[in-house]
Amino acid sequence: MSRKILIVEDDSSTSAYLSKGLAEAGYAVEACHDGRDGLFLASEGIFDLIIADRMLPGLDGLAMVSAIRAAGIDTPVLMLSALAAVDDRVDGLKSGADDYLCKPFSFAELSARIEALVRRSDRAATEPQKTRLAVGDLEIDLLSRQVMRAGRSIPLGAREFNLLEFLARHAGQVVTRTMMLEKIWNYHFDPGSNVVDVHIGRLRRKLEDGFGSPILHTVRGAGYRLAADA
């Protein structure tokens, strides 16, 4: 069964070039030339990959990809753009794109990146999804959103639970304030407040008060680490 690729590209010659090359490579291709049309088609959830230009009429590529991700659609996205600066590539990836390829590009490189994204997507689809996380005597049920430590229930608010889940998924690793601001608060800048430290303080009290050992550690000058060891 052919893989289905959606091309969202307003330049007709580039769109035709991509469509022809991918069709010859065995892909089923559908193309549109407007960001709004791209969002509508992507929302059908029938594509294995989306190739999107960054500069699009109707809805630009960054906004389109952000809207796709906000709708819960996890189809891999390869963004194309003539904007090649590091900040431009970072913006593309932060919008939700999985890869970013600068124009002009070789079709061989494009094809290799498509294959890599499809393989990654296939692996993710077949891997069993974890429903529980454990760090020492701390247990987190991701489905019921319940937290237990040493057999005792710990009630958490929504933001506290999201913060704990993020820390637990990086158990044993240092998680920086910047990482938490981006993942939990969706800030891609420093808000100039101590919002992270305040929430960490509340979470630490709930996780450690009345228990024998600390589990949420401060790594001075770096961030925080969730671990059963000191």
Q: What is the pLDDT of residues 40-65, one digit of tens each?
A: 999 888 899 999 999 999 999 999 99
Mean pLDDT of 84-89: 86
Structural domain that includes position 93 = 4-126
Q: 0.85 cut: is pTM over it?
A: no
Is residue 121 located within the same domain as residue 36?
yes
**CATH number of the domain to which 201 belongs:** 1.10.10.10
Q: What is the pLDDT of residues 89-148, one digit of tens each?
A: 888 898 899 999 999 999 999 999 999 998 887 776 665 667 889 999 999 999 899 999
Is residue 141 located within the same domain as residue 120?
no
The count of domains in the chain is: 2
Is residue 8 located within the same domain as residue 122?
yes
- DSSP track, the chain: -PPEEEEE-S-HHHHHHHHHHHHHTT-EEEEESSHHHHHHHHTT---SEEEEESS-SSS-HHHHHHHHHHTT----EEEEES--SHHHHHHHHHTT-SEEEESS--HHHHHHHHHHHHHHHHHHHHSPPP-EEEETTEEEETTTTEEEETTEE----HHHHHHHHHHHHTTTS-B-HHHHHHHHS--SS--SS-HHHHHHHHHHHHHHTTSSS--EEEETTTEEEE-S--
